[in-house]
Amino acid sequence: MATEYTGRGDPARSLALLWRTSERPSRKGKPDLGVDRIVRAAIDVADAEGLAALSMRRVAERLGVGTMSLYTYIPGKAELLDVMLDTVYGETARPEHVPGGWRARLELIARENWALYLRHPWLLQVAVSRPVLGPNVTAKYEYELSAIDGIGLTDVEMDSVLTLITGFVHGTARGAVEASEAEQQTGMTDVQWWAAHAPFLSRIADSTRFPVASRVGQAAGDEHNAAYSGEHAFEFGLRRVLDGIEHFVDNKNPPGGDTARRE
């Protein structure tokens, strides 16, 4: 996957677009053309064709307008990508009340991020070490931090716990998307791929030389009917990550301690 980077555009223009502080009125003859419609079309292009296909020209084609008409509203692809990212981050559900305490809230956050990546796989190609400072990204961060606010963690620990959760989801989603794309790109399912390679593997497999790998690989393959299951990796890993966070929180808040815990 090729990588795009956020924050490469003009910061003043990006922020104005993200917060809609200076959107120009629609041009005569195109009363419905504006930032929101352009961004929605760009997301549709990225969803259907991948991020590599995204360009101002391709978005204009999808909208049925001239490429230059887009520049009335958006300076270029870099700023467009920032707004696309902020827009899709607004899709995650943020219920006010989640039964089950902080662990249930973190689980919901993980599942919402997982679903977001599967809906928009191109997100996995965007490096966000320089975050998009838009309203939806900011609201998402606020909501997700609030899930663990008041349980005895420092502010830095709260940020680290959230980074652990979102990083885990990003990694497992990437594996799941790559597995799905492998089938699309090769035209072979995992079952077909293994069937084609099985005669050759049987010649080189040496269970005496690689006893653990042979045993475990066979068991995992039989369980998933494939070498890798993104869904299993997500479900298994999420439980283990939450267990680890729970252990950390409990050690921060021993029974009878002075630190107040929420739920």
**Are 85 and 63 spatial neighbours (Cβ–Cβ below 8 Å)?**
no
Domain tally, the chain: 2
Burial class of residue 121 in the structure, from the number of CB atoms within 10 Å of its CB (0-12 exposed, 13-18 middle, 19+ buried): buried
**Together in a domain, 56 and 114:** no
Residue 176 sits in a domain of what CATH number?
A: 1.10.357.10
Q: What is the pLDDT of residue 155?
A: 98
Residue 11 sits in a domain of what CATH number?
A: 1.10.10.60
**Together in a domain, 41 and 109:** no
Residue 253 has pLDDT above 70, yes or no: yes
Mean pLDDT in residue range 128-152: 95
Per-residue pLDDT tens over the stretch 155-174? 999 999 999 999 999 999 99
- Percent of the chain past pLDDT 90, that is, above it, reads 64
**Together in a domain, 114 and 243:** yes
| Average predicted confidence (pLDDT) for the chain | 89
**Together in a domain, 63 and 156:** no
**Together in a domain, 141 and 75:** no
**Together in a domain, 81 and 27:** yes
Asked if residue 176 belongs to a domain, the reply is yes
Per-residue pLDDT tens over the stretch 62-74? 999 999 999 999 9
**Are 147 and 105 spatial neighbours (Cβ–Cβ below 8 Å)?**
yes
Residue 216 has pLDDT above 60, yes or no: yes
Task: Tell which of 29, 64, 89 closes a domain.
Answer: 89
Mean pLDDT in residue range 227-254: 93
**Together in a domain, 241 and 133:** yes
Q: Which residues pair with 4 in a beta bridge?
A: 126
**Together in a domain, 152 and 247:** yes
Asked if residue 40 belongs to a domain, the reply is yes
**Together in a domain, 235 and 147:** yes
Query: CA 254 to CA 206: how far, in whole Å?
Result: 50
Task: Tell which of 45, 68, 89 closes a domain.
Answer: 89
**Together in a domain, 21 and 50:** yes
Domain hosting residue 185, numbered range: 101-199+229-252
**Torsion of the alpha carbons at 79, 84, 90 and 93, rounded to the nearest 10:** -150
Strands 4-5, 126-127: pairing is parallel
pTM of the model: 0.88
**Together in a domain, 155 and 240:** yes
Asked if residue 116 belongs to a domain, the reply is yes
Asked if residue 204 belongs to a domain, the reply is no
Asked if residue 210 belongs to a domain, the reply is no
**Together in a domain, 130 and 110:** yes
**Are 227 and 221 spatial neighbours (Cβ–Cβ below 8 Å)?**
yes
